[in-house]
Structure 1
């Protein structure tokens, strides 16, 4: 994301595009409402936002992850998750699935990526992971071009 001034502010977008905002929030909530672990969902949202360079979404989900009590070491090492040695098998599979779905190159998602996620997640859980990944990618593609400014939490609220 560019360091320039916001093109459209988050609050402006939220107020002006209320239906789209509500739809995206509702879509995002379906995964955790459906049983997807909230901490895992936040790790996914953070990694996808890293890949897409979305500072707004990264900061927002970092604040949420901290409030949920996600291990600080996992947050610190997220950019190097492949080699960090601190993530569970399920977290590794989910992060791999998130990268596969975010880095689409026109050839589709490989059978190897599908098999890796399905080894540790049920079909329904894989659907919920996929909804989470698709939703955060959409948010990144809104927040990035509009240059939403990160919402930095105060030390009291973190």
Structure 2
């Protein structure tokens, strides 16, 4: 794939709006390890090579293990994720694939068991933000550096 359009150059204000949303998510109080897992899992589902590359590097630089990065695709079968991480990953999958089955009540309830209202909202904002980044990158043809 080749770059189709540099949306940052075409409409810098749109890019700045996304950066403000990203800054909000980064400052929302979500654990940074969990945040990178959310970004990686949504990017895996969406097939965004640009974001997968970026967030795998970010996760590594923050001390995430190679094992947890490699096994994220199979988090249900891997014993290396906490119950709270599992709840957030299930929510990430449901929200990312929302057109398939909505967000099942059991997934919602499990996430709420681990996260209070503010944390849950911050996680939803993180999921939606990475999905937006994925869609921008894939549509415009961004590739890993």
TM class by shorter-chain length?
over 0.9
Cα distance in 1 for partners of 2:67, 2:122 equals 25
Greater shift in the superposed pair: 66-75 or 47-56? 66-75
Change (3 A) 1:77 1:107: closer
Cα distance in 2 for partners of 1:24, 1:128 equals 16
User: Is the 1:48–1:98 contact (alpha carbons within 8 Å) kept by the matching residues of 2?
Assistant: yes
Greater shift in the superposed pair: 37-46 or 105-114? 105-114
Deviation string 1:72-129 (CA, Å, 9 cap, x unpaired) is 2110101101111100111111101100100112653121111010011111100000
Change (3 A) 1:106 1:80: closer
> Match for residue 76 of structure 1?
70
Change (3 A) 1:124 1:51: same
Cα distance in 1 for partners of 2:82, 2:26 equals 19
Q: RMSD between aligned alpha carbons?
A: 1.3
Cα distance in 2 for partners of 1:107, 1:48 equals 16
Q: Where do 5+ consecutive residues of structure 2 fail to align?
A: none
Query: Helix, strand or coil: the match of 1:105?
Result: helix
- TM-score, normalised with respect to structure 1: 0.87
Runs of 4+ in 1 over 4 A off after TM superposition: none
Q: How many residues align?
A: 145
Which residue of the other structure, out of 77, 82, 90, is the alignment partner of 1:88?
A: 82
> Match for residue 44 of structure 1?
38
Q: Where do 5+ consecutive residues of structure 1 fail to align?
A: 152-158
> Match for residue 142 of structure 1?
136
User: Is the 2:91–2:103 contact (alpha carbons within 8 Å) kept by the matching residues of 1?
Assistant: no
Query: Helix, strand or coil: the match of 2:77?
Result: helix
Residue 20 of structure 1 deviates from its aligned partner by 1.2
